[in-house]
Amino acid sequence: MKFIALKISLLFVATLVGANSHAQETNSKASQTTSNAQYFQTYKAKKARQDWILNCQGCHKIDGTGRPDKGLPNLTGEVAKFLTVDGGREYLSRVPGITNASVNDADLAELINWLLPRFDPDNIPADFKPYTVEEVTQWRKHPLSIQAPQTRESLLAKLSHNNSQK
């Protein structure tokens, strides 16, 4: 009888731990959503949105869905995935639309930092560090002009491989 009581107690504790873990994950997502909502109200975010409208929206559309049939990728639910694979962070700051945008490097770093939670908040890695002016300046000097589609395909293959390993 003590064994059954112990087993029930352990099951109860495991259920509580699992529920607590799920609650923490849910709270973390809710906290991130709140944090994103607060961020989008800042001057920096509003400026980044304006830069998006003037420099990116014409090709990627207002909702970020792009024109994949014309080689303009969908960003929605996809763009932050590149941050999880080697070379992906660099790729996002070397694509032609980014390197040729008519904004300074500081505004460009903020634009990239804005578009990630705007179009793909669920795939931003927990250890994500915002893009810095220094890295955008460095990578912007080496645009992926004609190599962008091949680099994208290579990174997508890495993502697919990583996902199949999980």
Distance (Å, whole) CA 80 – CA 24 = 22
Q: What is the pLDDT of residue 162?
A: 79
Does residue 26 share a domain with residue 59? no
Does residue 53 share a domain with residue 23? no
Does residue 71 share a domain with residue 20? no
Does residue 25 share a domain with residue 85? no
**Mean pLDDT computed over 48-71:** 93
Domain holding 3, by residue range, is 1-39
- 31/143: higher pLDDT: 143
Region at 77 (left for phi over 0; alpha for psi -120 to 50; beta for the rest): left
Distance (Å, whole) CA 69 – CA 88 = 22
Whole-model pTM: value is 0.76
Q: What is the pLDDT of residue 37?
A: 85
Could you please report the per-residue DSSP string of 6-69? HHHHHHHHHHHHHHHHHHHHHHHHHHHHHHHHHHTTSHHHHHHHHHHHHHTHHHH-TTS--BGG
Does residue 135 share a domain with residue 82? yes
Look at residue 72 and give its three-state secondary structure: strand
Residues paired with residue 72 on neighbouring β-strands, in sequence order: 67
